[in-house]
Amino acid sequence: MDVIFNDLLGFTTTHLATIAAAALSMLAAALLAYFRGQINAGTKWALAPITRRLLWNQNNPNKGSAPDHESDLTSQLTVVDVFLTSVDGKCARYQKTSNYIVNNDELNAYHEGVTAAGKASGFSTMWGTIVETTKEHGFYISRIDLGDLLEKGSRFQNVYTADLHDCFTNDEEHWSQEIAFPTKHLTLRIHFPKSRPPRLVKCKVVEGVADKQVMTAAKITELSGEKGIVWEIQNPKLKDIYKLEWLW
């Protein structure tokens, strides 16, 4: 009887040890998976400010042209100045000054663009750093790293400039400005050399491949002591292209 009892006790003890070992293994595996998940989550949280800046992690709404969804930015006022610095029109300077409001929860980069019939170079930004500039469909698109995360509702002003080469060499010339962000007010100003002022100005809106002439208050006036053209546009339409034509 004692032999049977001892065998039964040994059998039970062995199996209890096996069950306990299995239970401990399962518990250890569960704890390992849990802590691995926590470590991964913690690592992602710690590295989030860095990974957001990587180019392949950026949401690219194609800011060089008008996006199809809600824009990352809204412009309260945009003033575009084109300075014709040589009489023959071979040298000019583009300057765009915009007062922006951030629409996204977080924004650390955006795009500015300029068109050029000839060539453009010398791109610069007052706010942030130009990471790269590429040419797409006649536009030079600069990606600007703002250097910090701007929260929704933040406001900032930026001045984006570029040198234009061989863009205004004809007697009849034009400048086109696309509305890439929702804009409350747009001012277009063309500055002419003293010895070659504008003689006639027309205003058009580009619709597809056709130009539609519009009646506006664009006028030839004084700009910094020289003749120039000013076109004030209230609530310009998103994605529309506004075109100034002149004889000089």
pLDDT at residue 136, rounded to an integer: 85
Q: SS3 of 38, please? A: helix
Strand order in the sheet with 172-178: 172-178, 241-247, 200-207, 210-213
Domain boundaries 67-247, corresponding CATH code? 2.60.40.1730
Q: What is the pLDDT of residues 72-106, one digit of tens each?
A: 899 999 999 999 999 999 999 999 999 999 998 88
Q: For the full predicted model, state whether its pTM sits above 0.75.
A: no
Displacement of CA 92 from its chain's centroid (Å): 24
Confidence of residue 212 (pLDDT cuts 50, 70, 90): confident
Q: SS3 of 4, please? A: helix
Task: Count other Cβ atoms within 10 Å, centred on residue 135.
Answer: 12
Residue 67 has pLDDT above 50, yes or no: no
Dist CA 45 CA 51 (whole Å): 10
Least trusted range by pLDDT, from 16-30, 85-99, 115-129, 175-189:
16-30
DSSP state letter for 201: E
Mean pLDDT calculated for residue range 25-36:
55
Q: Report which secondary-structure segment, H or E, holds 153.
A: none
Residue 188 has pLDDT above 90, yes or no: yes
Q: pLDDT over 90 for what percent of the chain?
A: 60
